[in-house]
Chains A and B, each alone.
Chain A
Amino acid sequence: MVEILKELEERFQVSDLVQQKDHLAFVSVDKNKAIPMITWLKDQAGYTSLTLITAVDWLEDGKFQLTYMINNPKNKTQIAARVMIDRENATMESAHHLWESVRIYQRELKEMFGIDFPGSPGVDESFILEGWVDIPPYRRDFDTKKYSEETYFPRPGRQSNDPAEYMKSKMYPNE
């Protein structure tokens, strides 16, 4: 694990190395070096299995963080590559040529976060939100409660309590 991280540092100038467990390490990598690095890991270093691709919305920084988690089945180690991309017109190089399943992840990311992957097959087709017209729902500036109340005819009479205050009023009614 240590050797492979050292080699990644030399070859692809990765930063922010965090080794969370013996078999799991996170690295940050530049946007234009991410796909070459993953290709190298897959072809040369034995990281042949894709675990997942996911995204995090850093709204305050104006960034999306893409995480590519890949697995080496031989020595059972995982490397997660974090890539920061701009939130405005979010675009990332497609990795669908490396694994078949990547296209499904990228379709989902396009629909849920609005991150575009040009050239990925079927990336513009709707995945589960058919005919969606609002901003992508996993973005943090999307207000899902407001959207639901406006769209789905909420049944009146539903109420919710703040757990802390509710328990306080139940247990210490005199205070």
Chain B
Amino acid sequence: MEREFDKAIKEMYKEKFLAPENEVRQVSAPDGSIIEIDPLKDYFCQERPKEHKPRKGVVEDFLNWARAESLWVLGFGTGCGSIEIPPLVTPRFDMYRYGVQMRPTPRQSNVFIISGYLSVKTLKRAIRSYEQMPSPKYIIALGSCTINGGMYWDSYNTINRLDHYMPVDVYIAGCMPRPEALLAGFGKLKELIKSGQGEKANEYARNFDWYKANQKKIIRDWNMPDYNW
């Protein structure tokens, strides 16, 4: 069921900014019949994200241990911090020994490093990538720009607080944090997951309307589906 709020927002933005590839159109099927395609309905998932309840007792502990020891990071760099990630793959820092590795697509990864400032244009892509990642998923916010805007706090095009748009598990302060700090962040994230506190994906599902409202407040050309995993 569609909520009033979603409906109102959708109507507001549909007329104004719908990308041409997302418009309703007539397509001829292979058997010759004409069918109507509504890409927002037919090509994307309309279902809202669900909360995943933890299993009981030892099973959840075991699952959390397994999750913590295999963090697959999405290769998505924003801002200056993206240059701090490649050294982690080199022998000097070597993140593979901690079970951390880079993956090229959101479908294969469960950790998203927001590595610095996010402009509104990048935020839109980051949200889409985050929503395509399979749950349980975690966000590491790197650098002071993600905490309070950092040196871009009064800029017209960069966000100030990441936690208003995406749920953040671990913040790493600094401008810029060195790769060692990133490794420490991974260690902290592991602790959180093992103790059963890595529940931000569920929090995103729970407060979905609040997050969407915040996102739509600044992404004015919302020409994509509301949820698209």
Contacts and interface: CB of A to CB of B under 8 A. Distances in A.
A147 B219 CA distance: 15
12 contacts: A128-B119, A128-B121, A130-B121, A130-B221, A131-B220, A133-B220, A147-B156, A148-B154, A152-B160, A153-B159, A153-B164, A153-B214
Contact of A144 (B148, B155, B217): B155
Nearest to A137: B156
Contacts of B121: 128-130
B124 interface: yes
A148 B221 contact: no
Interface of A: 126, 128-133, 137, 142, 144-145, 147-149, 151-155, 158
Majority-rule SS of B interface residues:
loop
B220 A132 contact: yes
B120 interface: yes
B220 A152 contact: no
A125 to B, nearest CB: 12
A154 B119 contact: no
Contact of A130 (B124, B156, B217): B124
A153 B156 contact: no
B149 A155 contact: yes
Contacts of A131: 17, 219-222
A145 B218 contact: no
A21 to B, nearest CB: 32
A154 B153 contact: yes
A155 B119 CA distance: 17
Contacts, number: 60
Contacts of B222: 131
A152 B120 CA distance: 10
Contact of B220 (A128, A130, A142, A144): A130
Interface string B131-148: 000000000000000011
Interface in B202-229: 214, 217-222
Given A128-B119, A148-B154, A154-B149, 13 more contacts: A126-B221, A129-B120, A130-B219, A137-B156, A144-B154, A147-B156, A148-B155, A151-B217, A151-B218, A152-B161, A153-B161, A155-B147, A155-B160
The 3 closest A-B pairs by CB, nearest first: A131-B221, A131-B220, A155-B148
Contacts of A145: 154
B157 interface: yes
Contacts of A154: 148-149, 153, 160-161
A85 B210 CA distance: 46
Contacts of B157: 128-129, 137
Most buried by B among A128, A142, A152: A152
Interface string B95-130: 000000000000000000000000111001000000
A60 B164 CA distance: 39
Contacts of A128: 119, 121, 157
Contacts of A126: 221
A144 to B, nearest CB: 4
A148 B156 contact: yes
